């Protein structure tokens, strides 16, 4: 792992008050080197990279989390789907991630809470993984309990842990099919349709999932299945469990993932934004808390919005059944604006340091 003078990570390595170790068949674990802080940290934060990525993509953010929340969090950067393994499909990635998380929990039995921070297609893999990791609430026999004990509804868990934050960064929640969802295709219908035909040659099964062209044994596209509880995967029940769901999105200059798909919005819902809202976060230009919507609300919005197709509308409607915090980011004044997809994550601190305020915003609003 490289970052300035940092050399490749080794087991038990210490750097600026942060400790690293390599987990079994997984990515790096990161925690505070202060023994008291490390022993009290009971919150597992799983960070997931995007397509063709690696655990090093989250190195800067992981270190910031541990330094600012030293006695709260234990960070694991996933590496089970690195590089070309991220082309195997969102479902395969999600299965691997779920297994990896369970292994980390087993290695760290002191953890009690869990959060996910995911970039790009890693956010979709994380949504699949939590559907696999969902554990229904344990219900006692109501006849044997006092009335007051019955009043409090038991909650499910994610891998046996209390779910706290589910954070995605430039994730194509609505897929990448047409309607300028992949900006570098310029919104030209013919090019977008052609991309959907050949995408499996480039990004294999993951590309099919992103462009909603998969047809596994006659089943609906995977992203459509993931906006409900489908078969043995409790996708929405798991997502609903988290105390917070947050979508960070680039309003422009992200040529890979468009604003609408990453912010889970219809065309008519894209807000007007101005320059920075806060000096501390110069690139955060808009924030809103979207409450869970009901079907009637969605129908009225759809009648006014002629810019979305039926399948995309199903994805928006499904994901809008839970509340979301939406944080819109703009690097329009940055010299690195054309690398916005990597800058928002600070994929490489030396190259993408302009996005550091987005990571700071994430940490400042994080529920530890």
Is pLDDT at 78 greater than 70 in this prediction? Answer: yes
Least confident range from 104-108, 198-202, 253-257: namely: 198-202
Is pLDDT at 107 greater than 70 in this prediction? Answer: yes
Is pLDDT at 1 greater than 50 in this prediction? Answer: no
Residue 143 lies in a domain: no
Q: Show Cβ contacts of residue 287 under 8 Å, excluding neighbours closer than 6 positions.
A: 277, 325, 326, 327, 328
Least confident range from 84-88, 211-215, 232-236, 296-300: namely: 296-300
Q: How many domains does the chain have?
A: 1
pTM above 0.85, yes or no: yes
Is pLDDT at 301 greater than 60 in this prediction? Answer: no
Least confident range from 63-67, 142-146, 174-178, 295-299: namely: 142-146
pLDDT band at 9 (very low <50, low <70, confident <90, very high): very low
User: Across the chain, what does the average pLDDT equal?
Assistant: 87
Give the pLDDT score at 138: 83
Domain that holds residue 252: 14-138+153-364
Q: What is the pLDDT of residues 183-224, one digit of tens each?
A: 544 454 665 564 555 556 566 799 999 999 998 888 999 999
CA distance to 126, 263, 289, per residue, from 307 (Å): 28, 16, 23
Q: Catalogue the long-range contacts made by 28-31 (C-beta closer than 8 Å, 24 or more residues apart).
A: 28/1, 28/55, 28/62, 28/76, 28/77, 28/79, 29/74, 29/75, 29/76, 29/104, 29/107, 29/108, 30/62, 30/63, 30/65, 30/66, 30/74, 30/75, 30/76, 30/77, 31/66, 31/73, 31/74, 31/75
Residue 9 lies in a domain: no
Distance CA(55)–CA(48), nearest Å, equals: 7
Is pLDDT at 231 greater than 50 in this prediction? Answer: yes
Q: Is beta strand 324-329 parallel, antiparallel or unpaired with respect to 233-234? A: unpaired
Residue 89 lies in a domain: yes
Q: The domain spanning residue 346 has which CATH number?
A: 3.40.50.1820
The packing angle between helices 189-210 and 121-133, to 10°, is 30
Residue 299 lies in a domain: yes
Give the pLDDT score at 77: 97
pLDDT band at 132 (very low <50, low <70, confident <90, very high): very high
Q: Could you tell me if 37 and 71 are in contact, meaning their C-beta atoms sit under 8 angstroms apart? A: yes
From the list 97, 113, 197, the residue with the least C-alpha distance to 160 is: 113
Distance CA(34)–CA(14), nearest Å, equals: 11
Q: Is 230 helix (H, G, I), strand (E, B) or coil?
A: strand
Round to the nearest angstrom and report the end-to-end CA distance of the chain.
Answer: 27
């Amino acid at each position: 792992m490289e970052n300035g003078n940092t050399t490749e990570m080794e087991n038990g390595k210490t750097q600026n008050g942060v400790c690293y170790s390599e987990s079994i068949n997984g990515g790096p674990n990161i925690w505070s080197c202060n023994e008291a802080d490390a022993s009290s940290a009971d919150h597992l934060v799983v960070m997931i990279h995007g397509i063709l990525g690696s655990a090093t993509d989250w190195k800067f953010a992981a270190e910031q989390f541990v330094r600012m929340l030293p006695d709260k969090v234990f960070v694991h950067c996933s590496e089970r789907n690195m590089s070309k393994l991220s082309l195997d499909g969102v479902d395969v990635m999600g299965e691997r991630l779920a297994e990896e998380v369970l292994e980390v929990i087993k290695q760290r039995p002191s953890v009690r809470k869990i959060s996910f921070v995911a970039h790009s297609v890693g956010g979709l893999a994380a949504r699949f993984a939590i559907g696999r990791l969902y554990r229904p609430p344990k219900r006692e026999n109501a006849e044997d309990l006092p009335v007051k004990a019955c009043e409090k509804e038991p909650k499910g868990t994610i891998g046996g842990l209390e779910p706290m934050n589910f954070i995605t960064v430039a994730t194509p929640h609505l897929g990448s099919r047409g309607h300028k969802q992949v900006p570098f295709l310029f919104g030209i219908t013919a090019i977008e349709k052609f991309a959907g035909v050949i995408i499996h040659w480039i990004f294999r099964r993951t590309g099919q999932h992103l462009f909603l062209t998969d047809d596994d044994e006659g089943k609906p596209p995977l992203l459509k299945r993931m906006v409900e509880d489908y078969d043995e995967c409790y996708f929405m029940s798991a997502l609903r469990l988290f105390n917070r769901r947050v979508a960070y999105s680039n309003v422009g200059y992200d040529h890979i993932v468009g604003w609408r798909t990453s912010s889970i919005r219809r065309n008519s819902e894209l807000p007007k934004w101005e320059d920075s809202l806060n000096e501390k976060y110069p690139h955060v230009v808009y924030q809103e808390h979207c409450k869970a919507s009901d079907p009637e609300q969605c129908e009225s919005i759809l009648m006014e919005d002629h810019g979305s197709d039926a399948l995309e509308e199903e994805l928006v409607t499904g994901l809008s059944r839970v509340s979301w915090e939406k944080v819109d980011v703009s690097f329009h004044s940055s010299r690195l604006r054309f690398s916005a997809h990597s800058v928002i994550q600070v994929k490489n601190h030396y190259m993408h340091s302009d996005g550091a305020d987005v990571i700071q915003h994430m940490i400042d609003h994080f529920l530890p």
